[in-house]
Structure 1
Amino acid sequence: MTIEFSKKLTQHDTPIPGVKLYDLPVHGDNRGWFKENWQREKMVSLGLPDFRPVQNNISFNEKAGTTRGIHAEPWDKFISVATGRIFGAWVDLREGPSFGTVFTAELDASQAIFIPRGVGNAFQTLEDNTAYTYLVNDHWSADAQSQYTFLNLADESVAIPWPIALDQAELSDKDRQHPRLADVVPMPAKKVLVIGANGQLGKALQDLYGGDAAVEFAGRDSFDIGAETSFRSRNWKNYSAIINAAAYTAVDAAETPEGRACAWAVNVSGVARLARTAVEHDLTLVHVSSDYVFDGGQESHDETEPFTPLGVYGQTKAAGDAVVSIVPRHYIVRTSWVIGAGSNFVKTMASLAKRGITPSVVNDQVGRLTFTEDIAACIKHLLDNGADYGTYNLSNEGTPQSWADIAADVFELTGSPRDSVTGVSTEEYFRGKAAAPRPLASTLNLTKIKSTGFVPAESSSRLAAYLRNGRVDS
């Protein structure tokens, strides 16, 4: 075998999404040759996923013509040749529009190929004593083998041009029996798990993802982030991302001894369990944050502002954000004044208006509403578009308002006079009441999320639609 020495490390796209072919630098002299078969830093910089291999396998093949069947496995593989030469064939057996797409190539020791989970892999040796080596990012197990998807080597629809005819090749009886493409059940995509599926945001995510088999919803009855058993009961290898829509949000109750313990248990300890799981299994973790991580001392808050929480709830949200930030693949979506299904400020004001009650409402806390349908859409946008990981502020668009301004809007939109609402200061409203401190300025700077191509809807239009569509009665 003649190996081409001193190639430049180069990545080549193929017709199969995610399958990348590499030229490897091989350095040789009179003693033999040397190559960097896998070099994480250089290859990741070229665009190879940082797929975190955990096992190295070698397949030695004594005779030319040895043919290994088309097996799609539930993990990623990085394949190269140690000695000899192969004809490789790869068929996309994943659910989706590229199902059945074929790519073939001859590989020697100066080449390698990355094969994502669910792409069928096969090869035929072209020389005696060929050693085929591959890295995988999961450990083999009998349970994992049950998730394989297979395709017959002789399938007529993919028509792989084997250099050595299959009737003259060495192959196993099992590989001869695998199904044709028409009978193959495609390998499903890894799932996204939504935690806290029965809350305001969880319900909005259900509305958005309804019918998508790749998204799984878990309420507290089936997944409690405060219970270690919830984490042990799932096979995390079948997931790609976790959306954490669970949180302790009782701002005032968090100031009590019992509430403080609950807030820390859910917003910090539970989040730490999610973060640990995401790190261990290389998952994307989406976490929802709050304007309460700030003291409201600035007119507008961007993503780089240091935490300055005033009360227990804000302290636990800030601590949770800090924990999530160590996950390599994370999105923190920081929101303010959330409105969705369930009890919320807009519903309360609409109910008061309906009953003819004239409330006093705080007029020195300023910010923007964030409707849960927009939070859900933003999360989907970040995941679908592969936005840079990190923290993103999110609220609805529009001129910042006080709670009293919003209450007046609700009264007007429901047919009551705006002046039914009386504005009072935060100090006056809470005088004599046990209440948590609140930031006076909660307006979030939206420049970063807009730079990803996501533009939130206007708060005024969302509020009108929310009231018009009867959401206040849900």
Structure 2
Amino acid sequence: MKILITGANGQLGREIQKQYGKTDVELLLTDVTDLDITDVLAVNKYVSENKPDVIINCAAHTQVDKCESQLDLATKINTIGPKNLASAAFSIGAEIVQISTDYVFDGEVDKNLTEFDKPNPKSVYGSTKLEGEKLVRALNPKHYIVRTAWLYGDGGNFVKTMLKLSKDHDELKVVNDQIGTPTSTVDLARVIIKLVREKNYGLFHCTCKGVCSWYDFALEIFAIRNINIKVTPCTSEEFPTAAKRPKYSVLRNYMLELTTGDITRDWKEALKEYLADLDA
């Protein structure tokens, strides 16, 4: 099997490479310098020449606040890019994996959201990702759309930011009124690979298990590392951002539970392993 990974240098792309590296799968690895997914001619040419069996699209404009002032760029990368890849994949009978986000929901309701809950994005990032979902679904029946949240892995992320800040600060303020689930790229990559192996097409939520705030997340990071630092909870209003964040965006892996089985771990267990790997 031949698999094309776009955005291969990002956190998720690196982890998928790592896990597939233990198999006999042939990987085609691209980033924006190798393949601009917003260029329909370039995408069609690359896909027709290389003929992957599966395209895993890890490319995205994920700088949520910048998306607010970069509507055209966000639309090109998060909406047009997936459209191009889905269409090119369909033309050769290939499958496509599209990574999406909890930001497709408004986060105004305190309930764990399933794939059957109605999206209502409140940010440019969320709306462009949702439109990308719709086009992938419309253009290629062999699709896996996987929504995730609060992702961390091999790259810049909240965990590394907290560890870095703890070296220079005796006290930190962390938002306590945004609720979600920290998710390891290890767990997400395992699920994606399982979906592809089983040809389990459709829309899926995939986060680690459990619920916490960013404040709780920070406390757990410091507790595992035995870092003595004062962490004070604060509100989102104390740290205003250009993009509106969902207040409650806990995704329930409902379709995984009902179909292939939910193999994700509790977020604390996954975090502990991640921090141990950082030490190693």
Q: TM-score range by the shorter chain?
A: over 0.9
Q: Measure, in 2, the Cα distance between the counterparts of 1:463 and 1:263.
A: 30
Which residue of the partner structure matches residue 172 of structure 1?
none
Given candidates 341, 357, 365, the residue that maps to 2:154 is: 341
Question: Counterpart of 2:144 in 1: which secondary structure?
Answer: strand
Which residue of the partner structure matches residue 276 of structure 1?
87
Q: Measure, in 2, the Cα distance between the counterparts of 1:239 and 1:263.
A: 26
Cα pair 1:381 1:454 within 8 Å, conserved: no
After superposition, the C-alpha distances for 1:313-345 in whole angstroms (9 at most, x for unaligned) are 011011111111112110001001111111111
Given candidates 257, 260, 263, the residue that maps to 1:450 is: 257
Which residue of the partner structure matches residue 219 of structure 2?
408
Q: Does 1:254 pair with 2:67?
A: yes
- Consecutive unaligned residues of structure 2, counting only runs of 5 or more, are none
Which residue of the partner structure matches residue 307 of structure 1?
119
After superposition, the C-alpha distances for 1:272-322 in whole angstroms (9 at most, x for unaligned) are 111211222221110001000000022211101122000100110111111
Q: Measure, in 2, the Cα distance between the counterparts of 1:342 and 1:278.
A: 28
Q: Measure, in 1, the Cα distance between the counterparts of 2:76 and 2:150.
A: 23
Which residue of the partner structure matches residue 316 of structure 1?
128
Structure 2 letter corresponding to 1:320: G
Cα pair 1:361 1:429 within 8 Å, conserved: no
Cα pair 2:151 2:183 within 8 Å, conserved: yes
Q: Measure, in 1, the Cα distance between the counterparts of 2:169 and 2:50.
A: 55
Q: Measure, in 2, the Cα distance between the counterparts of 1:379 and 1:446.
A: 13
After superposition, the C-alpha distances for 1:400-443 in whole angstroms (9 at most, x for unaligned) are 1000000111122222246x11111112221xxx5210100110
Structure 1 letter corresponding to 2:238: E
Which residue of the partner structure matches residue 244 of structure 2?
437
Q: Does 1:355 pair with 2:193?
A: no
Q: Measure, in 1, the Cα distance between the counterparts of 2:237 and 2:17.
A: 39
Give the total of aligned pairs.
Answer: 275
Which residue of the partner structure matches residue 239 of structure 1?
52
Question: Counterpart of 2:64 in 1: which secondary structure?
Answer: coil
CA shift, 1:384, in A, is 0.7
Which residue of the partner structure matches residue 269 of structure 2?
461
Which residue of the partner structure matches residue 192 of structure 2?
379
Higher relative contact order (CA 8 A, sep 6+): 2
Cα pair 2:3 2:25 within 8 Å, conserved: no
Q: Measure, in 2, the Cα distance between the counterparts of 1:339 and 1:284.
A: 26
Q: Measure, in 2, the Cα distance between the counterparts of 1:442 and 1:202.
A: 24
Which residue of the partner structure matches residue 203 of structure 2?
391
CA shift, 1:213, in A, is 4.2
Cα pair 1:236 1:281 within 8 Å, conserved: no
Cα pair 2:43 2:84 within 8 Å, conserved: no
Q: Does 1:285 pair with 2:96?
A: yes
Q: Measure, in 2, the Cα distance between the counterparts of 1:416 and 1:393.
A: 33
Which residue of the partner structure matches residue 165 of structure 1?
none
Which residue of the partner structure matches residue 330 of structure 1?
143
Cα pair 1:353 1:414 within 8 Å, conserved: no
Cα pair 1:371 1:462 within 8 Å, conserved: yes
Q: Does 1:229 pair with 2:42?
A: yes
CA shift, 1:454, in A, is 3.4
Instruction: Assess, with a 3 A threshold, how the Cα gap between structure 1 residues 234 and 445 changes in structure 2: closer, same or farther.
Output: closer
Instruction: Assess, with a 3 A threshold, how the Cα gap between structure 1 residues 371 and 411 changes in structure 2: closer, same or farther.
Output: same
- Consecutive unaligned residues of structure 1, counting only runs of 5 or more, are 1-188
TM-score where L is the length of structure 2: 0.93
Cα pair 2:205 2:253 within 8 Å, conserved: yes
Given candidates 228, 233, 236, the residue that maps to 1:423 is: 233
TM-score where L is the length of structure 1: 0.56
After superposition, the C-alpha distances for 1:106-132 in whole angstroms (9 at most, x for unaligned) are xxxxxxxxxxxxxxxxxxxxxxxxxxx
Structure 1 letter corresponding to 2:135: V
Which residue of the partner structure matches residue 134 of structure 1?
none
Give the 5 Å matches for 1:188-199. Answer: 189=1, 191-199=2-10
Instruction: Assess, with a 3 A threshold, how the Cα gap between structure 1 residues 254 and 372 changes in structure 2: closer, same or farther.
Output: same
Q: Measure, in 1, the Cα distance between the counterparts of 2:53 and 2:128.
A: 26
CA shift, 1:353, in A, is 2.0
CA RMSD of aligned residues (A): 1.7
Question: Counterpart of 1:239 in 2: which secondary structure?
Answer: coil
Q: Which has the higher helix share?
A: 2
Structure 2 letter corresponding to 1:306: K
Question: Counterpart of 1:325 in 2: which secondary structure?
Answer: helix
Q: Which has the higher strand share?
A: 1
% identical aligned pairs: 36
Q: Measure, in 2, the Cα distance between the counterparts of 1:233 and 1:447.
A: 35
Q: After TM superposition, where is structure 1 displaced by more than 4 Å over at least 4 residues in a row?
A: none
Which residue of the partner structure matches residue 130 of structure 1?
none
